[in-house]
Structure 1
Amino acid sequence: MAQGKAQERPADTPFKQQRLPAWQPILTPKWVVITFSFIGVAFIPIGVVIVNISDAIVEVVQRYDDQCPPPPSYCTVNVTIPADMAPPIYFYYQLTNFYQNHRRYVQSRSDAQLRGVGDLSQSDLSNCEPIVTSPVQTDKVLYPCGLVANSFFTDQFNASLLDPVTGNETALAGADWDGTSIAWATDVQTKFKLPQRAYAGVSRQTARPGIPNVVTLPSVTNQEFIVWMRTAGLPTFKKLNRVVGTATIAAGTKIQFSISNQFPVRGFNGQKALVLSTASVLGGKNPFLGYAYITVGAICLFLAFAFQVKHYLSPRTLGDMTYFAWNTGDRRVHAIDAGAPTVGDDKEAGKDKSATADP
């Protein structure tokens, strides 16, 4: 028994016995002011650079659900480009007030089914509750099943460039309307695959409230579907749909979008929008990070100034022994050191005397 306990004891090394040498900075007023000043001087320029990079990105957002008849329908929406856009140009659709981050929604999927696992157990499919079977063919399993897959965004888009001078129309196609490289490579290679043998007793047909037509879900290897299955963390989000790979779009050019409007949003008070955007080394347009750097830098400079003023007006030497109580004239401390009774001791002594005087 003793040998077993000895074997379980950690080795007698500085690391496992927590005897490694350590260093802890002594935060003197000088070092506090220098540290805050350094952070402020470094962060503010970084923030300014990030904001400038974000401002250089051209982004156009155009709501379209209010310009189209209720789904299912078809409509066209024109968007005017305010500044030159160099490739690659990214086209997104944007949804508002759609909570893909709801816990019940996020969990309603079968990753085994999406990976093409051959033999699916009942527990694999139970993860898809409350939508396991097809609402149209109720005796068959919906493939892919679950709330996330069943709510797949079904609007389709085509785009044409309208020349502002001649009015000629040039359709975007091929490399200039590419939907084959919009999903994450890791998702395509590992998370979404067809089974080696086709599933039996499954259906891709589903139904949606307010839509009279039967909706056919796409293949699990469809990249638009893969993008949709990567759930968003906020209720307003945009998802990549196409990439304009080679065409440069000049300022003033009008883009005509032909939209197959199939996805209803009125039931949850949502909105749909088209988004065209260029990108930078930091991604899409988002000045928040730059403003955050500037704010932190400004706060640090203010704190450095405040500490410097405080140290100037009421300096205090670090480790000054004169601030100890016995060096500040505290009478209580001197009385204790001399062995004299304190106020409490006097009261107790008086009680003892009165008790002794009683017959």
Structure 2
Amino acid sequence: MKLTKISAAILLAGLTTTVIAAPDPNTPYIGAKAGWSHYFDLDFTDAGENNFSRNHLGAGAFGGYQFTPNIGVEVGYDWLGRANYSLKDEYTGKYTGQGLYATGKFSYEVVHDFDVYTRLGVYGWRSSNRVTDVAQGRDPKLVGRYNSTGVSPVFAAGVEYALSPSVATRLDYQYVPNLGKSRDIGMKPDNGMLSVGLSYRFGQGAPAPVVAPTLTPVPETKKFNLRSDVLFAFGKSELKAEGREALKQLFSELQRIDPDEGKAVVIGFTDRIGSAQANQALSERRAQSVVNELIGLGVPANLIEARGMGAQNPVTGSQCDNVSPRSALIECLGPDRRVEIQVTGLKTAESEM
């Protein structure tokens, strides 16, 4: 088996193995939720209000579209529950709240697979109030059914955890003020709903089409570049679990290298952030981690070695000189953080992987 095959497999694996908590860009999702719905700040027009049942089961369904890993839109329907109440022991009522919302959703990944988010937007609600006369000495009599519709702002915040690339669970708190008009139904309560939800994300993890290269006779030295960010977390030298598993699967069927085919050198590079001494040590550790993984997959130890070059030979040049803050600079310098695999002494290349 040619060393060219192994080098190409490493390159393809590095380009296609990455998982984050937020959905992939330009993908839709759907979900459902249920939890605790609480009415408060009722603003009854009748000061004799009492015995309003404020806590109820709430439920809903939602769907959204993720434009980027951090920005999306979400729409949904909520059933906020039916509340019973009494007035002066003369009347009883049943208040019902429900609504449709449209919000922007803004996410931030705290740790791998775990996001915090906020939702802001508008809430179109429909509230109804059914009033019955139950005064002592009289038979219960329906006074009337009253409805009210309107639009209020909606605010929500929550946390979301990716159980898998396609399935996520969330804990969400949502607040909507003034779900009613006093002149229509005699009250305008606020509502807060704490819910647990489950969502399904479409189109996750689908790799971009890869055009297989046409291999021609290989010169004495051939180079393959792999972005360090694909295999390592920023500032770390341990291979990510998903990267290690992908490499294991890709190489499980590969044969050992023919010793006559040559030698491979794995060279680690860092960006310029940090001291020269720290970057040199990090580049050496990263290169050695890749070498150890390849040896564990069957590459003979005498045919591969690790080298570290620190922040030398950056590929970004001066394009990041005026970039700030630090998070933007880290992203800009991403191409400088790389692992280069140099294969020397190869005689021929094969056309199949």
TM-score range, shorter chain: under 0.3
Q: Which structure shows the bigger proportion of residues in strand conformation?
A: 2
Q: Which structure shows the bigger proportion of residues in helix conformation?
A: 1
TM-score (norm 1): 0.21
Larger radius of gyration: 1
TM-score (norm 2): 0.21
Higher relative contact order (CA 8 A, sep 6+): 1
